[in-house]
């Protein structure tokens, strides 16, 4: 034995994953905070939300503010986005259009995402006839072109008042009809994804063990399955904003949207002939506002999908 032998160096410890010890949601928030592009998009979305909330109060008299002496003015310091054919500020119209689009997109997704989560989870977990019925239902709806189905539903709502003579009556001619129509068909994609995920989850050991212990189907769904598919709803909620805003703009362009408030689709429809005579500002304001919020939601949806994917947690 060599008495001068030096003690061996301790074995290198494996590096700890930076996301180990955090929950999926905590890790997702950390990933988003480190992404400067995602933070910028969050700020943009927050600004749009703030504008959507306060604009109906700040510009409550918009319908009566006609100024025929200042019609069709180009952008200036007094009117940053110019004025329209009735002398109204295009900036005010753009802000009120944000109120309409954000409200419609939010309410449509509040209807569509929970509906897709519940139907998808029930179909994937129960299987057999329940699954066949739900799959037949959403396959039938998906076989009809989305915009045609949306227009048909909106026409069916014309002149209807839901829960009439009650304090929460909904006039389906206006904003309520738009978000109900969008919500009634916007759940299909979420349902498909959740159904496929639940069909895999229900075969895992911990779900099988829960059922073997005598847990009811409702308890297994609520305790063991829904928490593992909830991230799909969050991701689709953000991506659904894009589709809902775009659909609302199309419906308003076709005069099937909101009638008592300005919207970006109505602005595009009213200004489409102005380009012939060189009046570009109203069309540019509506298209630019739509482009910015759609781009921001697309980026956020992409980042959420990466951050909430459990398979990427330790990458």
- What is d(CA 57, CA 290) in angstroms, rounded to the nearest whole number? 22
Shortest CA distance to 297 belongs to which of 104, 34, 25, 46? 46
Q: Enumerate residues 6+ apart whose C-beta is below 8 A from 239.
A: 297, 298, 301
DSSP-derived letter for residue 161 is E
What's the CA gap between 117 and 136, in Å, rounded? 17
- Structural Rg of the chain based on CA atoms: 26
CATH class of the 24-54+90-312 domain in this structure: mainly alpha
Report the pLDDT value the prediction gives residue 256, as an integer from 0 to 100: 80
Residue 131 has a CB neighbour count (10 Å cut-off) of 16
Residue pair 233/116 in contact by the 8 Å Cβ criterion = yes
CA distances (Å), origin 61, targets 11, 23, 91: 74, 48, 14
For residue 87, give the 3-state DSSP assignment: coil
| DSSP letter, residue 6 | P
For 256, which DSSP code?
-
Tokens of 123: 């179909």
Structure confidence at residue 117 (pLDDT) = 92
- Whole-angstrom CA distances from 144 to 111, 138, 149, 225 are 20, 10, 6, 31
Report angle CA 141, 133, 195 to the nearest 5 degrees. 80
What residues pair up with 89 in beta bridges, in sequence order?
83
The domain limits of the chain are 24-54+90-312
SS3 content of the chain, % helix, strand, coil (to 5): 70, 0, 30
Task: Please say whether the beta carbons of 263 and 252 come within 8 A.
Answer: yes
* pLDDT tens-digit profile, the chain (315 residues): 455 555 554 544 444 444 455 666 677 777 777 878 888 989 999 999 999 999 888 887 777 777 777 888 888 888 888 888 888 888 888 999 899 889 888 999 999 999 999 999 999 888 888 889 999 998 998 888 888 888 888 888 777 777 666 666 676 777 788 888 888 888 998 999 999 999 888 888 888 888 888 888 788 888 888 888 888 888 888 888 888 888 888 888 888 877 778 888 888 888 887 777 788 888 899 899 999 999 998 888 888 777 776 555 554
């Amino acid at each position: 034995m060599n008495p001068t032998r030096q003690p061996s160096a301790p074995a290198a410890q494996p590096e700890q994953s930076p996301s180990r010890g955090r929950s999926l949601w905590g890790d997702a928030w950390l990933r988003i905070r480190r992404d400067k592009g995602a933070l910028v998009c969050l700020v943009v979305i927050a600004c749009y939300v703030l504008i959507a909330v306060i604009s109906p109060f700040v510009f409550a008299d918009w319908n009566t503010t006609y100024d025929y002496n200042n019609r069709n003015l180009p952008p200036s310091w007094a009117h940053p986005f110019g004025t329209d054919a009735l002398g109204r500020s295009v900036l005010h119209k753009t802000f009120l259009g944000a109120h309409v689009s954000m409200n419609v997109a939010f309410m449509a997704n509040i209807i569509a995402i929970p509906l897709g989560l519940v139907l998808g989870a029930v179909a994937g977990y129960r299987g057999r006839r329940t699954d066949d019925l739900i799959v037949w239902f959403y396959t039938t709806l998906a076989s009809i072109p989305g915009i045609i189905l949306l227009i048909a539903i909106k026409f069916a709502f014309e002149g209807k008042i839901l829960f009439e003579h009650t304090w929460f009556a909904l006039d389906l001619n206006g904003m309520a009809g738009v978000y109900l129509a969008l919500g009634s068909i916007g759940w299909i994609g979420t349902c498909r994804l959740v159904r496929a995920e639940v069909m895999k989850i229900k075969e895992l050991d911990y779900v099988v063990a829960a059922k073997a212990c005598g847990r009811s189907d409702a308890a297994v769904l609520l305790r063991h399955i829904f928490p593992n598919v909830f991230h799909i709803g969050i991701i689709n909620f953000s991506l659904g904003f894009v589709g809902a805003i775009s659909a609302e703009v199309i419906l308003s362009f076709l005069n099937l949207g909101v009638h008592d408030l300005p919207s970006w689709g109505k602005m595009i429809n009213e200004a489409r002939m102005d380009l012939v005579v060189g009046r570009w500002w109203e069309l540019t304001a509506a298209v630019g506002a739509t482009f910015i919020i759609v781009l921001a939601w697309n980026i956020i949806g992409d980042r959420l999908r990466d951050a909430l994917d459990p398979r990427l947690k330790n990458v």
